[in-house]
Chain A
Amino acid sequence: MRARWPIWLFLLPGGLLFLVFFVTPTLYGLSLSFTNWNGISPHYNWIGVSNYTNMFTNDSVFWEAVQNTFKFVATTVILQSLFSLIFALLLLRNTRTNVFFRTLFFFPTILSTVSVAFIWMFIYDPNIGILNTALGDVGLTAWQHDWLGNKVIAIFCLAMVQVWAHTGQLLIIYLAGLQQIPQEYYEVAKIEGANRWQTFWRVTWPLLVPVTTMVVAYTTIQSFQAFVLVFALTNGGPGNATEILGTYIYHQAFMNNHFGYAAAISVVFMIIIAVLTMGQFGILRLRIGGSMGNKEVNPT
């Protein structure tokens, strides 16, 4: 006899795992956020939305963390999108040297964030770091800084590490987008006598808008989750100068034993990311709709 395999059986193992270890904690976190649980005691109380009102009205560190997160994300999104687009354009042709450079630029992506953090801890080290040593060697001692110890620049120095680690990955996404642009468009532009600049703004850029939206969305989600990098490099310091939402959640829970409060911050964190990504993917869908319209008039 042929065994019958109802299709829902295929959903069972993975679905169960997803339900227990993904969906449940997500909902569980939501309910914890309305309590004052300290993470240890078996007793805790429902305190309604107190955690949320506290966060928004009483907690200046929370607002610092929000600001730092946005500084970090904005810096990485702008620089990563820009660099990856520039290098994708520069390395577009499939020559041997270009493939070598792409492989090299992608390389930091495969390293663990902990390794990347150690490499940059040494680069930024105020005493023996590569950066200060190199600046000293070329006579730019005035430019030397305690990069991660300076409250003003530390968060941007962290953002540079994120850019270093992930630009190569986004370059590949841009490259894929660029390679899909039909050559005929460029031939037509050439015949019309367009220069490189005009060709880029009139042909390449409009067709790259969907890819750009995707790159921006990816980078945003990725940079919001830079917990490990910050945790390993500065752990939120000096003061709260590099405290981002991810590290603040961790500190509230595991150092201050404010589990309920940390859960509330997590919910807000999740909502911020959801709104931003849905917004970006919404724009993406509109744009893709647009570019598909273009494809129908494709002369080929």
Chain B
Amino acid sequence: MRWFRLPMVWTYALLIIVPLLVVIDSSFKSLGELFQNPLLPPATFTAANYVTLATQVPLGLYFLNSVIVTGSSVIAVIVFGSMIAYAVLRLPRKLSYALYAVFTVGLMVPSQANLISVYVEMSDLHLVDTLYGLILVEVAFLLPVAVFIMGGFMRSMSPEIMEAAKVDGANEWQMYYRIALPLTTPAIASTAIFGGVIVWNDLLFPLLLLKTNTNFTLPLALLSFSGEYQTNYPVIFAGVLLASIPVVVLYLFLQKYFIAGLTAGAVKG
């Protein structure tokens, strides 16, 4: 197998590395140079594309919107999701199965099949074009996967710990907050990472729900100014790089958690 192992692996590696390098070096080229030389590194480095972005696009605002939406969604989905997961653990068997079934079905309902009805309901509730409206929808659609990941983890805790706490006179809130939650930390980390990456990168719901430019999150802003700059790849790539930096930096430091978390939530894509 050795004869074909390295060529295979390196071919695929290059298929990932080359496009990424081209994106990075293109963002430092002028449009004219890109047309003459799409592949190789720039002969003259220019930061003009970044200057264009910084002066003509309120990138800081989009960044802030993305941080607000992602941060709030992740916190809400962990708090509410872990509470539901705990309830599933503590409820009588039949009820907990029923509840689990509901969320499993929720796991299979594709968000794209709910595009129309979510939009209509949100406009009925006057929540279109608000960040908190977007957050509510993101949380609702992340909940099934969150319950699945954290619930699966909580079920592997030994029931004796709970029984011991109960004998010591702990109430349900204390058992949840003092025992179940700390023991679920790895699953919470997974949920936070997969939820965070999904919301940070999401285009579907922002596209559907956000209308005013000042409310845009980064992916939606990227899409909208790509229309404006047409095939001005250098400027678009500068935007792609700036929007990806937070996730990429986190990925480099927390690889293991990222891979575990995103794989746990793979089903949600």
Could you list which residues of chain A lie within 8 angstroms of chain B, going by C-beta atoms?
2-8, 10-11, 13-15, 17-18, 20-22, 24-26, 28-29, 32, 39, 83, 86-87, 90-91, 101-115, 118-123, 125, 127-130, 133-134, 137, 164, 166, 169-170, 172-173, 176, 196, 217-218, 221-222, 224-225, 227-228, 231-232, 245-246, 249-250, 253, 259, 262-263, 266-267, 269-270, 273-274, 277-278
Q: Determine if B251 and A107 form an interchain contact, defined as CB atoms under 8 angstroms apart.
A: yes
The CA of A172 and the CA of B233, in the complex, are separated in Å by 32
B143 to chain A: which residues have CB within 8 Å? 14, 17-18, 22
The residue on B at minimum CB distance from A224 is B110
In the bound complex, do residue A118 and residue B226 qualify as a contact, i.e. CB atoms below 8 Å apart?
A: yes
- Chain B 59-101, CB-CB to A under 8 Å as 1, else 0, gives 0000000000000000010011101101100110000000100
Closest beta carbon of chain A to B66's beta carbon, Å: 10
The answer to the question of B109 belonging to the interface, with a C-beta cut-off of 8 Å to chain A, is yes
User: Would A273 and B113 count as touching, CB distance under 8 A?
Assistant: yes
Interface size on B, residues (CB 8 A): 88
Instruction: Tell which of A32, A110, A113, A176 touches B120, judged by Cβ atoms closer than 8 Å.
Output: A32
Q: Collect the chain B residues with CB atoms within 8 Å of residue A231's CB.
A: 203, 207
What is the minimal beta-carbon distance from A93 to any residue of chain B, in angstroms? 11
| 8 Å CB interface, B137-176 against A | 137, 139-141, 143-144, 147, 169, 171-173, 176
* Stretch from B13-21, B48-56, B183-191 at the A interface: B13-21
Complexed CA–CA distance, A18 and B176 (Å):
21
Known: A110-B251, A128-B35. Is A104-B223 also a contact (CB below 8 A)?
Answer: no
Task: Give the residue name and chain of the A residue nearest to B138 (CB).
Answer: A21
- A101 and B111 CA atoms in complex are apart in Å by 32
Question: Which residues of B sit under 8 angstroms from A101, Cβ to Cβ?
Answer: 9, 13
B117 touches A90 (CB 8 A): no
Q: How far is the CB of B60 from chain A (nearest CB, A)?
A: 18
A25 touches B121 (CB 8 A): yes
State the CA gap A273–B111 with chains docked (Å). Answer: 11
Residues on B with C-beta less than 8 A from A121 are: 233
Closest to A37 in B: B120
A144 to chain B, nearest CB (A): 13
* Contacting pair B222 A115 (CB below 8 A): yes
Residue B201 lies at the interface, judged by CB distance under 8 Å to chain A: yes
The residue in A11, A108, A127, A274 that gathers the most chain B C-beta atoms within 10 A of its C-beta is A11
Of A11, A173, A225, the residue contacting B112 (CB under 8 A) is A225
In the complex, the answer to whether A110 meets B117 with C-beta atoms within 8 Å is no
Q: A29-B116, A277-B108 are in contact. Are A22 and B140 (CB under 8 A)?
A: yes
Cβ contact within 8 Å between B13 and A25: no
Is B43 located at the chain interface by the 8 A CB criterion? no
Q: Are B114 and A26 in contact (CB under 8 A)?
A: yes
In angstroms, Cα B226 to Cα A125, docked, is 15
Contact among B23, B140, B248 with A20 in the assembled complex (CB-CB below 8 Å): B140
